[in-house]
Chain A
Amino acid sequence: TSAGGFGIGREALPEEVAAWDVNVMPDGTGLPEGSGSVADGEMLFSENCAVCHGEFAEGVGNWPELAGGEGTLADKDPVKTVGSYWPYLSTAWDYVHRSMPFGNAQSLTADETYAIVAYILYSNWLVEEDFVLSRENFLEVEMPNADGFIVDDRPETEYGQWRAEPCMSDCKDSVEITMRATVLDVTPDEGADEAG
């Protein structure tokens, strides 16, 4: 189909598209010119990010850890960070540039974003301390968990076995309570107050 139909709306201007269309694809499409070093990134991170994410991107309190957790994804409590989990560096650049710092988003220039992403890579021991990240070498960085994702396979692994007429009687010999929420007692009090 060709454009039009109702003739509603107006053509977007190039400046408008440039202002809003800032996403970066895994193949680097959308990355602007620029570069930034680990050293610059360390200073910028300390000023803009460390209050929540820690000086070494290790996280403060309940705020997200950006570094660490290598090899923990199959553990009981995996530590999922940019280094241990994220498949694409494009996502880190895009997200930092668009939505961080929390509460002051879209305040970082392209060069500053390159530098902060370089520092996050360094915090994850994925680059050396003299590393400079740029549009040119962006795709050379290897993300450890790049192959860690599969497309939703529920149709193959789950739906077949669970699309069956279910049991209605004598479905099991015995039933025991194996866990109780009140043992943990982490539900907010007001949740139970209305019982009366």
Chain B
Amino acid sequence: MADTSDLTPSRRAFLKGTAAGIAGAAMGAGAARAAGPDPLITDIQPFAQGLGDGVDATPYGLPIKFEDDVVRRNVEWLTADTISSINFTPIHALDGTITPQGCAFERHHSGAIEMSKGEYRLMINGLVDKPLVFTYEDLERFPRENHVYFCECAANTGMEWAGAQLNGAQFTHGMIHNMEYTGVPLRTLLQEAGLSGDLEGKWVFVEGHDASSNGRSIPMEKALDDVLVAFKANGEALRKEHGYPVRLVVPGWEGNLWVKWLRRVEVTDGPVESREETSKYTDTLADGTSRKWTWVMDAKSVITQPSPQAPITHGPGPMVISGLAWSGHGAITRVDVSKDGGKTWETARLAKPGEKMALTRFYLDTVWDGEEMLLQARAMDETGYVQPTKAQLREVRGENSIYHNNCIQTWHVKTSGEAENVEVS
């Protein structure tokens, strides 16, 4: 049996391997001729000789240590404290569309609370035939559905209204995650409590178990359409910070409505006009009036690679420009990419056909000539809506809307391959 406790050969091989890697990168891309045999190939590596971990080593695993930069990050100066605050998904380092739950962004108003399934109760009350209380176990007895949807914070990209501020796709566009949810349609639970009479003009008020409660009003039409009372995400229970054991999923609508730790759904004859739909999540226009009930998240996209946190390191030659597109109005049908700040556009390739209210991955397989680029992506959805520029948005709204900034993002890629968040004329 090999001695896996002897780290000396491993360390030497690692150092040699690193040196070879750097030499390889310096030679640039293309079918370059090797200067000499690669020791990562010609030397027997410790992992090819010794043994790895047993199957009992990690009952529930985390990413390998080499990926320890793929983590949520917060920006301290954005909020007064870290309890009513936000952090950001590392979208610059992810691919595909499903967000790993462990690095999917968080937004709390009174912290991520810990409650068990045993402590969980859901109340349906108000203008129903019979107010009801459900336990967690009750919810699992109703017919279930599975859907993939994006949850985008209304404030995503909000710091960028007045200019280019944060340098990285994680910070400018990372208040978003995309998961496969399992749950019960809210419609099913409302029908269980009994909806009588004319539903025209009726609303539901939804609130959480946490101290902030995060109460929001939703018109009945949406409540009966596609809102989901979800208890699983990406195959497993919700994470504590995402509402364990039960959250609301409100497809296409701003993340604030996705009430976590859902405790109560009340049928009302009007909107409550709670703090989260008056003081917050209202969008002030240039003349000082404000829009309310701006629920839908419009079509949007961002190039995730290359981007400020994901520079080009391989030199000129073949490369992949990759990014995400999404729309609260339905499926993404097309994404165009510009390398010259919007003078000319090429249509990118969608990795899969766009799905309604879900993240869509796009690729532009291209060749970099080593010159500067002003990279932009422009999403289109099935309603024909084309993602606007920031100038177009400001023309209608001014600079104080805070929320719903779905403008085209520009990355300035320099000859070094580094990228910067910029605005262009």
Residues of A whose CB lies within 8 Å of any CB of B are 1-6, 8-12, 16-17, 20-21, 23-26, 52, 61-64, 73-74, 76-78, 80, 82, 85-88, 90-91, 94-95, 98-99, 102-103, 105-106, 148-154, 157-159, 162-164, 166-172, 174-182, 184, 186-188, 190-195
B76 sits at the interface (CB 8 A)? yes
* Extra A-B contacts (6), CB below 8 Å, given A78-B284, A105-B212: A4-B192, A12-B125, A21-B123, A73-B290, A98-B213, A179-B422
Inside 8 A of B129's CB, which chain A residues have their CB?
2-3
B 273-314 contacts with A by CB, 8 A: 273-275, 278-279, 282, 284, 286-296, 298, 308-309, 311
Q: Which residues of chain A are within 8 angstroms of B308 by Cβ–Cβ distance?
A: 181, 191-192
Q: 3 shortest A-B CB distances, which residue pairs?
A: A3-B194, A74-B288, A175-B341
B384 (CB) vs chain A CBs: closest residue: A163
Q: Are A172 and B110 in contact (CB under 8 A)?
A: no
CB of A91 within 8 A of CB of B73, answer: no
B266 within 8 A of A: yes
B274 and A179 contacting across the interface, CB-CB below 8 Å: no
- What chain B residues lie within 8 Å of A176 (beta carbons)? 424-425
Query: Are B286 and A74 in contact (CB-based, < 8 A)?
Result: yes
- In the complex, A124→B372 CA distance in Å? 53
Flag if A162 contacts B386 (CB, 8 Å): yes
Docked CA distance A24–B165 (Å) = 39
CB-CB under 8 A from B164, the residues of chain A are 179-181, 184
Q: Which of A3, A10, A182 contacts B133 (CB 8 A)?
A: A10
Instruction: Tell me whether B168 and A192 are in contact (CB under 8 A).
Output: yes
Spell out B's residues near A (CB within 8 Å): 69, 73-77, 79-80, 83-84, 93, 109-110, 123-126, 128-134, 138, 141-142, 163-168, 170-171, 188, 191-196, 205, 207, 211-213, 215, 263-264, 266, 268, 270, 272-275, 278-279, 282, 284, 286-296, 298, 308-309, 311, 336, 340-345, 374, 378, 380, 383-386, 388, 392, 396, 399-400, 412, 418, 420-425
Mostly, the B contact residues are: loop
A-B residue pairs in contact (CB < 8 Å), sample of 5: A1-B195, A63-B80, A74-B287, A78-B284, A152-B293
Are A166 and B423 within 8 A (Cβ)? no
| Shortest beta-carbon distance from B389 to chain A in Å | 10
Distance between Cα atoms of A37 and B318 in the complex (Å)? 72
Contacts of A102 in B (CB 8 A): 83-84, 110
Q: Determine if A149 and B80 form an interchain contact, defined as CB atoms under 8 angstroms apart.
A: no
Task: Across the interface, name the chain A residue whose C-beta is closest to B276.
Answer: A95
A14 closest partner in B (C-beta): B131
CB-contact partner of A88 in B75, B93, B273, under 8 A: B273
Instruction: Write the nearest CB–CB distance from A21 to chain B, whole angstroms.
Output: 6
Rounded to whole angstroms, the CA-CA distance of A151 and B287 in the bound complex is 15
Contact B194 A73 (CB under 8 A): no
Tell me if A99 and B211 are in contact (CB < 8 A).
Answer: yes
The answer to whether A6 and B211 have CB atoms under 8 Å apart is no
In the complex, the answer to whether A106 meets B80 with C-beta atoms within 8 Å is no
Residues A167 and B424 in contact, CB atoms below 8 Å apart: no
Bound-state Cα–Cα, A18 to B16, Å: 70
Q: Cβ of B80 and Cβ of A62 under 8 Å apart?
A: yes
- The answer to whether A153 touches B291 (Cβ under 8 A) is yes
Give the complex CA separation of A103 and B84 in angstroms.
11
CA distance A151 to B237 in the complex (A): 36
Alpha-carbon separation in the docked complex, A26 to B138 (Å):
34
Please state if A152 and B291 are interface contacts (CB–CB under 8 Å).
Answer: yes
CA distance A63 to B85 in the complex (A): 12
